[in-house]
């Protein structure tokens, strides 16, 4: 049996990683950008931390069921996270391997599912803990794809990628067939 991911699956996981990375790279505020560029911000963003609008958004997020621990790591999260919604997540996935808070789950129309956690653990601590807790039947590699180390592997008929950033980590899942 060929255990290499199909071109479609690799493209889907790469797209998910690219979307996550672009979100990470564009997440600094106008004032942070101004501090590094030496210019003054033109106007305060409506969602600037500490503004009335950001407080309203945070309140709406909390009212929707987003855990308070997730507001900083996932400022666009909305709704109560449900691990059961990640139907591709294997039953023996070590979801408690890292001390963290489940923040959101999502899916795309092409079968990619994403599970996000907020955590105080460093990226290497997250990857170490996940690798140590994975069942021996999983195939996993740890490598740097240019944006930091990540885990890529298979669990039966599911491909997965684990990527990290400060304060958070994400598990991307896709069907292997």
pLDDT tens-digit series, residues 11-35: 454 445 444 443 433 343 444 444 4
Q: How many domains does the chain have?
A: 1
In a domain, 95, yes or no: yes
In a domain, 115, yes or no: yes
d(C-alpha 117, C-alpha 70), whole Å: 8
d(C-alpha 170, C-alpha 98), whole Å: 12
In a domain, 145, yes or no: yes
For residue 46, pLDDT beyond 50: no
Question: Span 50-60, mean pLDDT?
Answer: 68
Boundaries of domain holding 35:
7-175
In a domain, 24, yes or no: yes
Indicate the pTM of the whole model. 0.70
Assign 165 a pLDDT band (cuts: 50, 70, 90).
very high
State whether the Cα torsion 39-58-111-6 is positive or negative.
positive
In a domain, 1, yes or no: no
In a domain, 158, yes or no: yes
Asked if residue 83 lies in contact with residue 94, where contact means CB atoms within 8 angstroms, the answer is: no
- The dihedrals phi and psi of 140, each to the nearest 5 degrees, come to -145, 145
Lowest mean pLDDT segment, chosen from 16-25, 55-64, 153-162: 16-25
Asked if residue 174 lies in contact with residue 111, where contact means CB atoms within 8 angstroms, the answer is: yes
Assign 56 a pLDDT band (cuts: 50, 70, 90).
confident
In a domain, 57, yes or no: yes
In a domain, 89, yes or no: yes
d(C-alpha 68, C-alpha 53), whole Å: 17
């Amino acid at each position: 049996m060929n255990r290499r991911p199909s071109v479609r699956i690799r493209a889907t996981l790469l797209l998910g990683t690219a979307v996550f990375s672009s979100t990470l790279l564009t997440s600094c505020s106008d004032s942070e950008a101004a501090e590094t560029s030496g210019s003054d911000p033109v106007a305060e963003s409506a969602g600037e931390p500490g503004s009335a609008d950001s407080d309203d958004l945070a309140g709406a997020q909390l009212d929707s069921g987003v855990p308070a621990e997730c507001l900083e790591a996932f400022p666009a999260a909305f709704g109560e996270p449900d691990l059961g919604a990640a139907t591709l997540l294997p039953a023996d996935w070590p979801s408690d391997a890292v001390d963290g808070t489940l923040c959101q789950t999502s899916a795309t129309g092409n079968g990619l599912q994403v599970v996000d956690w907020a955590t105080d653990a460093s990226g290497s601590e997250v990857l170490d803990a996940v690798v140590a807790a994975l069942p021996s039947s999983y195939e996993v590699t740890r490598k740097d794809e240019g944006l930091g180390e990540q885990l890529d592997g298979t669990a039966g008929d599911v491909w997965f990628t684990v990527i990290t950033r400060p304060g958070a980590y994400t598990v991307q899942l896709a069907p292997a067939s």
